[in-house]
Amino acid sequence: MNLPYRFGRYLLTSKIAAGGMAEVYRAKYFGEGGFVKKVAVKKILPALSSSKDFVTMLCDEAKALVKLQHKNIVQVYELGKDKDSYYISMEYVDGADLRKLFKRVVLESQLIPLKFSCFVIGEILQAIDFAHNLGIIHRDVSPPNILISYNGEVKVADFGIAKGGHRQFETVVTEVKGKYSYMSPEQAGGKPVDIRTDIYAIGVIFYELVTGKRLFDAPNDFLAIEQVKKSELPEGWQMSMPEELSQIISHALRKESTDRYCSAADFLDELKQYIVKSGLAADSMELSQYIKDLFNSEYKKDANELKHKKNTQIDYLWEGGKKEAEKKSGRIISFASFTIISALLFSSGSSLNNSKNIVEDKDKPLDSFGTISVQARPWAYVYIPEALEKKETPVRNVKLKSGNYILKVNYEPDDLWLQKEITISDAKHVKCFADFIEQHALTCQSFR
């Protein structure tokens, strides 16, 4: 699927993440009178659209999120279907998830300030307590599902495997769901769970925020499950933090669920007392500045895009095309017209493409140029300075003038980059493959 892409009432602009069940995209919703709203669209994978069980799971998530109207929970807007594809549109949180935050501080050889760790956990506990009071257990509280906005908001996302009365489709008890390193021992063992499974997961996250280290970091899923089931904590881990804080975390990480906090509210009460006693109070404004400083380049880029969004080609594509059609026919542009305009605007010969090295003159001899194709695993965005700007893989047969280029490939969900210098020769085709899963390498071959 080439982006931007018209999907239902939305324009998908870039991919955020992909999982075993669905893909998540940044998108724009266009309303009347020039109204534009940035949203996230969770789209079930095409291969699963015919599966009643997977579609029901998506519907379950929407039903859960509709109930969960809370400042610390990602809000759902719509459950819909476009042709044969189901989707959920939801609040877009402009910032970073905890997994990305962990990686950034490790890269900077830092620790997250303790006051911010306590603040983030407090916000998570408020969200989870609200869900528990509605009879909903999250069952997948983990760093990728904790979002922190540039405004300092902390939001819990992805109730896709949540357990509660909203569910039509339930997995069997012995089926393990969620991310292994953040499961409670009972969940990893396929046993029945209650609200205390979420409390254990929050304890794991709290430990990692404070220490800057993974609690369970096995080389494969089997060993991770075994570690969690045994609930073996590193020896002397309490020495890395104040005693009172280690007691709070260890209370959440008890192997037996009956020995843990009885509720998220109880966990939160003890945490609040510790924050006051230790002088570690923080607020969203302070966290906002910390996140903006830590992700300075990303924040500036997002802010610049927002500032100039009225001048982007995507807005022109949607709004300009719609106004032109309304002038001619008095009605909103049809999907067929949108497809035609998309093809014209985004083809390699489009006047919108200001990349000076891409071939536009068909009269020039073919042997003066070469082509390049790029594949990636799992997927990625491709950049070639002054030639190609953020094109999603697979990229096929892009025609370039002969010469040397820098090829950059980015797997955006984990902020992973691969880079290689390539040579485009007369009438030759370069094929490149970026592997972000096993080899973490970018390889290229040239063919005539």
Tens digits of per-residue pLDDT, 152-204? Answer: 999 999 875 444 444 443 433 333 344 788 999 999 888 999 999 999 999 99
Catalytic residues: 140
Contact of 211 with 217, CB cutoff 8 Å: no
- The pLDDT score that the predictor gives to residue 419 is 92
Of the CA atoms within 13 Å of residue 425, those in its CB half-sphere come to 9
Task: State the average pLDDT for the chain.
Answer: 80
Same domain, 359 and 279: no
User: Are the CB atoms for 381 and 414 separated by under 8 Å?
Assistant: no
What is the tens place of the pLDDT at every residue in 278-325?
Answer: 999 999 999 999 999 999 888 877 666 655 544 444 443 444 444 443
Residue with tokens 């919108």: 352
CATH number of the domain at 76, please: 3.30.200.20
In the structure, what pLDDT confidence band is assigned to residue 219 with cuts at 50, 70 and 90? low
Confidence of residue 47 (pLDDT cuts 50, 70, 90): confident
Token pair, residue 177, equals 């769901």
Residues 74 and 199 in one domain: no
Q: Residue 296 and residue 95: Cα distance in Å, rounded?
A: 11
131 confidence band (pLDDT: 50, 70, 90): very high
Choose the most confident range, by mean pLDDT, from 144-153, 212-221, 355-364: 144-153
**Per-residue model confidence (pLDDT) at position 307:** 54
- pLDDT score at 360: 44
Higher pLDDT pick, 122 / 333: 122
Mean pLDDT of 343-370: 46
Whole-number pLDDT of residue 160? 55
Tokens representing residue 401 in the block: 């003038």
Q: What is the pLDDT of residue 412?
A: 79
Whether residue 303 is contained in a domain is answered as no
Domains in the chain, number = 3
Does residue 306 form part of some domain?
no
208 and 148 share one domain:
yes
Are 257 and 180 in the same domain?
yes
The CA-to-CA distance between both ends of the chain, in Å, stands at 28
Q: Mean pLDDT: which of 35-49, 61-75, 177-191, 261-275 is highest? A: 261-275
What pTM, to 2 d.p., does this model score?
A: 0.67
User: Which of 92, 125, 140 is the C-terminal boundary of a domain?
Assistant: 92
In 3D, which of 148, 125, 444 has the Cα closest to residue 263? 125
In a domain, 440, yes or no: yes
Q: What is the pLDDT of residues 395-406, one digit of tens each?
A: 888 999 999 999
Alpha helices in 92-147 (DSSP H): 98-107, 114-133
291 and 160 both lie in a single domain: yes
Q: Residue 117's domain spans which residues? A: 95-298
Let me know whether 285 and 406 are in one domain: no
CATH number at residue 294: 1.10.510.10
Which of 214, 133, 134, 130 is CA-nearest to residue 180? Answer: 214
For 61, what's the count of Cα atoms within 13 Å in the CB-facing half-sphere? 30
Is the pLDDT at 334 greater than 80? The verdict is no
126 and 61 in a common domain: no
Label residue 330 by pLDDT band (50, 70, 90).
Answer: very low
In a shared domain, residues 46 and 107: no
Calpha distance 119→396 (Å, rounded) = 47
Helices (H), 68-113: 98-107
Of 298, 314, 334, which closes a domain? 298
Instruction: Indicate whether 234 and 202 sit together in one domain.
Output: yes
The domain that holds 436 is classified in CATH as 2.60.40
Q: How many Cβ atoms from other residues are within 10 Å of residue 5's Cβ? A: 14
Both 78 and 99 in one domain: the answer is: no
- pLDDT for position 168: 41
In terms of Cα–Cα distance, which of 68, 56, 41, 212 is closest to 143? 212
Strand 369-377 versus strand 429-435 pairing type = parallel
One DSSP character per residue, 369-432 reads EEEEEEEEES--EEEETTTEEEEESPEEEEEEESEEEEEEEEEGGGTEEEEEEEEE-TT-EEEE
Q: Are residues 172 and 52 in the same domain?
A: no
Higher pLDDT, 265 or 17: 265
Listed range (14-23, 47-56, 276-285) with the worst mean pLDDT: 47-56
Provide mean pLDDT across the span 373-388.
88
Residue 354's pLDDT is 41
The predicted pLDDT at position 218 comes to 65
- For residue 6, is pLDDT > 70? yes
User: What is residue 350's predicted lDDT score, i.e. its pLDDT?
Assistant: 35
How far apart are alpha carbons 66 and 153 in whole angstroms?
20
* 35/47: higher pLDDT: 35
pLDDT recorded at residue 32 = 77
Whether residue 292 sits in one domain with residue 177: yes
Show which of 253, 273, 298 is a domain's final residue: 298
The answer to whether the beta carbons of residues 240 and 211 sit under 8 Å apart is: yes
Alpha-carbon span 266 to 308, nearest angstrom? 46
